[in-house]
């Protein structure tokens, strides 16, 4: 996926409002959940102070035992007790053709450790990651996106800790994670692998890191050039029969690749996760969103703020995003934000939300204040004309 980044940052760098009370139980790991009505901002501050009071790298935070690939076995600080959180309900949507329902905006866990390098993740970074997950849950996000490679498995482990801390999060969370990008061991080539064995083994590892019995959505991270759809189908059937995965999805698949894979599957793919933003419009024109709309596959937009360009500025972005030129579109977003009394980034998300395919933007900020601010996006209703005003600013050429 990100070979240049890999070279720059090392292997670990590969990792990258419904009416009140209407949130619904998510996965089989989480039966009977109901979101509550009121936000209690003080709660997260309390959690933070407790976690921070552990004072750095306590024994409990250190790696337990021998490190196996992707498994660090973090544990909660000693004496930590679970805390109840009453989330503010966010609008929910049905995911794909399934009965699963998730928040209108998803929370992405790629950046939660504050670094892509596993060796740099210290106790403070883990605390910030937990804080971000809990802030997202408190704000009403129930759909969480992860991947085995995010910070070498640490994102999944942190999410697993958050599930231990909050029983209601465990009940409400719709957990979507991914496999298929192999982090090379010594001497190996960086590659994609959608062989049945690799999918099944990766799933077992993710379940272990997350500390759950079943994943709500298991996504293939990138299309393997050597993908055999029948082999993928075998792996999916095995995981489903074993009760380890409820639904499957794909990520970064082109329409022909989706059709090829779907032709071998019994169940419908429920999501296709792709990069979509005002700075990345390919999916509007290459048939991806048309296919999603036609077959009721929920499109999930990664980097909906183009990695920060459509917010207050980029931080770590993928090599493919380095070339983005945000000045013109930012100016237009700012004008509209002033008119509507909101922020540039909320408008950029509202633009995605208006598309009839039902795009779910996966927000990637790690800052609790931004996590809360962005949740306002689903209350912004852009007019047809406003939508086109933004589109035409984003396009390189005028509409014919
Ligand atoms: P994003 O929302 O486009 O970008 C988030 C980045 O923008 C953060 O670094 C954030 O920094 C920064 N930012 C700057 N100003 C901001 C503002 N005003 N509001 C919000 N953020 C602002 O999304 P992303 O992190 O690139 O991707 C989101 C999620 O998509 C990931 O977490 C992951 O789950 C998924 N993803 C999937 C793939 C795939 O191949 N399937 C690839 C990439 C990502 P701060 O943290 O400092 O706020």
> Residue 66: which region, alpha, beta or left (left: phi > 0; alpha: psi -120 to 50)?
beta
Is 65's pLDDT higher than 60? no
Binning pLDDT at 50, 70 and 90, where does residue 171 land? very high
Bridge partner residues of 101 (DSSP): 94
Q: Whose CA is nearest to atom 19 of ligand 1?
A: 311
pLDDT of residue 59: 34
Please check whether residue 44 is in contact with residue 134, taking contact to mean a CB–CB distance below 8 angstroms.
yes
Kind plus residue range of the DSSP H or E element containing 298: strand 298-302
Bridge partner residues of 247 (DSSP): 217
| Separation CA 130–CA 115 (nearest Å) | 14
Is 77's pLDDT higher than 90? no
Binning pLDDT at 50, 70 and 90, where does residue 12 land? very low
Q: CA gyration radius for the chain?
A: 20
Ligand 1: nearest atom to the Cα of 146: 34
Tens digits of residue pLDDT in 205-222 = 999 999 999 999 999 999
Tens digits of residue pLDDT in 90-133 = 999 999 999 999 999 999 999 999 988 888 899 899 999 999 99
Is 262's pLDDT higher than 60? yes
Is 41's pLDDT higher than 70? no
Q: Whose CA is nearest to atom 21 of ligand 1?
A: 365
| Separation CA 173–CA 159 (nearest Å) | 10
Binning pLDDT at 50, 70 and 90, where does residue 325 land? very high
Mean pLDDT (the chain) is 85
Please check whether residue 215 is in contact with residue 246, taking contact to mean a CB–CB distance below 8 angstroms.
yes
| Separation CA 156–CA 71 (nearest Å) | 10
Q: Which of 320, 332, 242 is nearest to 275 (CA)?
A: 320
Phi/psi for 222 (5° steps) reads -145, 150
Q: 344: Cβ below 6 Å to ligand 1?
A: no
Ligand 1: nearest atom to the Cα of 251: 41
- Helices (DSSP H) in the chain: which residue ranges? 3-9, 41-52, 123-139, 154-165, 167-172, 196-210, 229-241, 255-264, 282-285, 288-295, 327-340, 344-353, 368-374, 384-394
Tens digits of residue pLDDT in 283-318 = 999 999 999 999 999 999 999 999 999 999 998 999
- Known catalytic membership, residue 198: no
Tens digits of residue pLDDT in 54-63 = 333 433 333 3
Is 324's pLDDT higher than 80? yes
Task: Give residue 303 CA to ligand 1 midpoint distance, Å.
Answer: 5
Q: Whose CA is nearest to atom 35 of ligand 1?
A: 302
Q: Whose CA is nearest to atom 36 of ligand 1?
A: 302
Token digits of residue 382: 């852009």
pLDDT of residue 3: 39
pLDDT of residue 74: 64
Is 335's pLDDT higher than 60? yes
| Separation CA 71–CA 264 (nearest Å) | 32
pLDDT of residue 72: 61
pLDDT of residue 71: 55
Of 311, 317, 330, 353, which is best to mutate to test ligand 1, by the most ligand atoms within 8 angstroms of its C-beta? 311
Burial of 264 (0-12, 13-18, 19+ CB in 10 A): middle
Q: 307: Cβ below 6 Å to ligand 1?
A: yes
Kind plus residue range of the DSSP H or E element containing 249: strand 245-251
Which domains are present in the chain?
A: 26-394 (3.20.20.100)
Tens digits of residue pLDDT in 148-169 = 999 999 999 999 999 999 999 9
Ligand 1: nearest atom to the Cα of 344: 18
């Amino acid at each position: 996926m990100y070979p240049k980044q890999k070279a720059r940052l090392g292997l670990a760098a590969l990792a990258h409002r419904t009416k009140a009370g209407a949130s619904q139980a998510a996965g089989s790991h989480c039966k009977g959940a109901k979101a509550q009505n009121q936000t209690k901002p003080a709660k997260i501050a309390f959690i933070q102070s407790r976690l921070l009071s552990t004072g750095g790298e306590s024994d409990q935070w250190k790696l337990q035992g021998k490190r196996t690939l992707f498994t660090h076995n973090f544990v909660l600080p000693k004496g930590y007790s679970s805390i109840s959180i009453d989330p503010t309900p966010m609008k929910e949507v049905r995911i794909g053709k399934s009965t699963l329902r998730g928040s209108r905006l998803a929370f992405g866990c790629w950046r939660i450790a504050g670094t892509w390098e596993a060796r740099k993740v210290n106790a403070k970074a883990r605390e910030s990651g937990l804080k971000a997950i809990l802030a997202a849950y408190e704000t009403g996000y129930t759909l969480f996106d992860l991947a085995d490679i995010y910070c070498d498995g640490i994102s999944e482990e942190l999410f697993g800790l958050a599930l231990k801390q909050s029983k209601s999060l465990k009940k409400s969370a719709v957990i979507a994670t991914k496999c298929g990008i192999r982090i090379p061991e010594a001497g190996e080539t960086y590659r994609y692998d959608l062989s049945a064995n690799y999918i099944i083994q990766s799933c077992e590892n993710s379940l272990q890191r997350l500390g759950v019995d079943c994943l709500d959505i298991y996504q293939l991270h990138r299309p393997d050039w050597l993908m055999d759809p029948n082999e993928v189908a075998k792996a999916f059937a095995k995981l489903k029969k074993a009760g380890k995965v409820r639904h499957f999805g794909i990520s970064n698949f082109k329409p022909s690749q989706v059709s090829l894979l779907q032709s071998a599957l019994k169940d419908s793919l429920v999501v296709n996760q792709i990069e979509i933003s005002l700075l990345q419009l390919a999916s509007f024109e290459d048939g991806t969103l048309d296919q999603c709309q036609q077959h009721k596959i929920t499109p999930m937009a990664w980097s909906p703020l183009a990695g920060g360009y459509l917010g207050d500025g980029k931080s770590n972005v993928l090599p493919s995003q380095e070339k983005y030129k945000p000045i013109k579109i930012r100016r237009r977003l700012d004008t509209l934000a002033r008119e509507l009394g909101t922020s540039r980034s909320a408008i950029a998300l509202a633009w995605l939300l208006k598309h009839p395919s039902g795009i779910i933007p996966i927000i990637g900020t790690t800052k609790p204040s931004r996590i809360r601010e962005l949740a306002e996006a689903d209350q912004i209703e852009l007019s047809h004309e406003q939508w086109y005003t933004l589109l035409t600013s984003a396009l390189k050429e005028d509409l014919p």
